[in-house]
Chains A and B, each alone.
Chain A
Amino acid sequence: MQTNLNRRKFIGGLALAAAGGVASGVGGAKLVGRLGRAPEGAWRVFTPDEARLVEAVAEQIIPADRDPGAREAGVIYYIDRQLAGPHKRFAAKYRAGLVCLVQTSQAVFGKPFEALDWADQTRLLQTLEANKAPKNIWTKPSASEFFGLVRDHVMQGFYGSPQHGGNRHYASYKMLGLEYPRVIGQNRYPAQTG
């Protein structure tokens, strides 16, 4: 798809968004942002390329630092599994949104999202969140709608129960200092007096 995007103008927009944005991404550059292999798995919904792209986005949303990020916690497996199950109704939106994301990255930077350096990935996602990505690419879904959907699912995969595919080894519970797994009752029963 051809876009009339003026790269310098778009980068300007990115910088503007970043100025009002957040300090996310700082410190994560060493660990992520490389064009790696597709995560291994028997995918239910994603193609291996889509899985790699979604995983790169997920790692931006919850980056690794001293605690695991979305990649290490296996968030991509949560998302893929739910898109084949309770979240089936979102699968088409994902697919369409990922096509738009690929086009946006190519149009602006001339390379795939996974190959961008960390800071550029962050800025690109900030423009999606603010719905300031090129409207001629993002007709349906809108950029902010797509970003919000992925963000929610990453949070669910990272903080939800490991039985759904994410939160590997209770990574987020350990991060928050919540005891887990619990042996129900054993550690909570006060001495019975009745």
Chain B
Amino acid sequence: MANQHVNAVVVGAGAGGGVVAKVLSEAGLSVVLLERGTWQSFDDHTDDELISQRTTVLGNAYGPDDARYRRVCENPDGSTRIVLPSEGGYNNVAACVGSGTLSYGAMAWRFMPQDFKMRSTYGCPDGSTLDDWPLTYEDLEPCYERAEWEIGVAGDDSTNPFAAPRRKPRPMPAFPYNKEARLLVQAAEQLKWHPFPVPMLRNSIPYGGRPQCIHMRSCVGFACPINAKCGTQNTVIPAALATGHCELRTNAVVSEVVLDERGHARGVRYFDSHDRLQEQTADLVVVSASATETARLLLNSKSKLFPNGAGNNNDWVGRNLQGHAYCGAEGLMADEIYEEAGPGACVAFSDFNHGNSGLRGGAMLCNEFIALPYLYTGIRPPGAPRWGLAHKEFQRRNYKRTIRVKGPVQEMPVFESRVRVDPAVKDHWGLPVARLSGRRHPHDVEIAKFMVEKAAQLLRATGAADIWTSVPGTGGPSGGQHQAGTCRMGNDPKTSVTNRHGQVHGIDNLFVADGSLNVTNGGFNPVLTIMALGYWVGGYIAKEWKGGAHFHA
């Protein structure tokens, strides 16, 4: 039986799509929200370190699975390899209702005003496509505010002079500092830095009908056993369903956006839980499948007017794939600093996000999430023994003495870092898989080198010994869980995929609402910005709809 026509079909129930589904269904549109994964909870994997979203050696806790999914990675020499979702090169984002927001570390950063104006602030380095966003921080500010209040954020900017301006405080007070953070605060004050609590999408007090955080040490990478972590799966998606206008279909793997002869979107085709091909027609389509899968879906959606994929007549879909150049410093303290108070990350410094001489941007720095015992076996100074009694002694002596400060360097977008579809390799459903290729820009490494010196300086001030730093290389495309940039928004259709409302150039009823839109990715974890973009794009559609624009052909 054919599916009933609806006003909007949203692809992907993650940070962006969950928000869009709520905004549209509250505006009275009939919505079908399609999710390739399913509902998941803590009990599905409990606190098993080897099957989480952070350490995936036995598989991804919340998808995608190794049996049905594949990607192809292109090595710098042009050779390729097939990677499974549980392997590093896959650049995985969780496949479940809520996607990464079910199991994330939940840092709730707003980008800074400069992050939306990178090109006009710094100029574009050679070999980069660095640009300004077609919207400003001030444009997006009300959307950040809605995300903070409707999904739930704890935080306090009062000691952060670099914080982006806001009209309204966050709805929950900040989390207290743990022992590691208290040491870092003292050290930072000696250095005249400005420590402040990491904003978190977690309940510091009961909020949204859900209880207060119980500080699991296994928090990042895991669903919360008591639902104190705020994701789209326990906030905006239930709210969308409660309107009566939104239907969520899980285990729905979208294969194609269907475009008609005139280049108008008619809906999507998808495989249901029994691998049967279904069609869902709609007045408009919103793609929120993450930077890799959104690009792949558009590229796999070929039609008469868009023979190279939807919105891809200028070859910009899948370009500018970026993530963060994570870097930092680690050291060993004389005394134990471990506190059984997850997730661990709780103090941050924004002193070096911008204004670093000779550098275009920078990064936020913060203390790290608790490393569980297996993950910790990889945290070692260079040359340290990796096995034998010396390994064991290191684990035993230092597990609770290791102090870590890290940061996500804002990357310079590179046109050749990209998502394509592979000409040969197919997934379980016979769909061409994503093929990832490219490199980081060398300037990212320069910034990372600067940042790790700052991190090491802070650790020295805490009294840490044996400090070591890590700087990423330029090899391989970036991406990871912070993947962004592949369907850039812009005012010029020749150098972007969508307009400033996330509307695909040339296809009025096809929208993108996820990190793919990000022109640049900030020196911060991007999830709150993706949520804000959900409100931005969804809000535009709802406003137009109410004004009579129903996006019909």
Contact = CB atoms under 8 A, between A and B. Distances in A.
Contact of A24 (B57, B66, B225, B389): B389
B465 interface: no
A172 interface: yes
Interface string B300-341: 000000000000000000000000000000000000000010
Contacts of B214: 184-185, 188-189
A176 B399 contact: yes
A160 B211 CA distance: 29
Nearest to A190: B212
Contacts of B47: 161, 182
Nearest to A63: B389
Interface in B364-382: 372-374, 376-377
A155 B374 contact: yes
Interface of A: 21-28, 60-63, 65, 67, 69, 82, 85-87, 122, 125, 129, 151-152, 154-156, 159-161, 163-164, 172-173, 175-179, 182, 184-185, 188-190, 192, 194
B115 to A, nearest CB: 35
A85 B51 CA distance: 13
Contacts of A184: 214, 216, 225-226
A86 B387 contact: no
15 contacts: A22-B388, A24-B387, A25-B388, A25-B389, A26-B389, A28-B389, A67-B396, A155-B377, A160-B58, A161-B48, A175-B396, A178-B373, A190-B212, A192-B211, A194-B205
Contacts of B390: 22-24
A77 to B, nearest CB: 14
B58 to A, nearest CB: 5
A50 B532 CA distance: 55
A61 B387 CA distance: 5
Contacts of A156: 50, 57-58, 374
Interface in B160-219: 205-206, 211-212, 214-217
Contacts of B376: 159
- Most interface-central of A69, A160, A194 (chain B CB within 10 A): A160
Contacts of A60: 387-388
Given A24-B389, A161-B50, A194-B205, A173 B373 contact: yes
B391 A62 contact: yes
A164 B215 CA distance: 25
- Most interface-central of B217, B377, B399 (chain A CB within 10 A): B377
A160 B215 contact: no
A164 B374 CA distance: 14
Contacts of A194: 205-206, 212
A142 to B, nearest CB: 17
Given A26-B389, A194-B205, 17 more contacts: A23-B385, A63-B392, A86-B66, A129-B386, A156-B58, A156-B374, A159-B377, A164-B58, A172-B373, A173-B373, A175-B392, A178-B217, A184-B214, A184-B225, A185-B214, A189-B214, A190-B212
A183 B532 CA distance: 37
B516 interface: no
A22 B48 CA distance: 31
Given A185-B214, A192-B206, A194-B205, A65 B374 contact: no
B49 A159 contact: yes
A21 to B, nearest CB: 8
A75 to B, nearest CB: 12
Nearest to B215: A188
A21 B399 CA distance: 22
B206 A24 contact: no
Nearest to A147: B387
B391 A159 contact: no
Contacts of B49: 159-161
B392 A160 contact: no
B58 A163 contact: no
- Most interface-central of A67, A86, A129, A152 (chain B CB within 10 A): A86
Given A86-B59, A176-B399, A194-B205, A61 B388 contact: yes
Given A175-B396, A184-B225, A27 B389 contact: yes
A177 B391 CA distance: 16
B48 A160 contact: yes
Nearest to A61: B387
A63 B392 CA distance: 8
Nearest to B398: A176
7 smallest A-B Cβ distances: which pairs? A24-B388, A22-B385, A159-B373, A159-B374, A188-B214, A160-B50, A61-B387
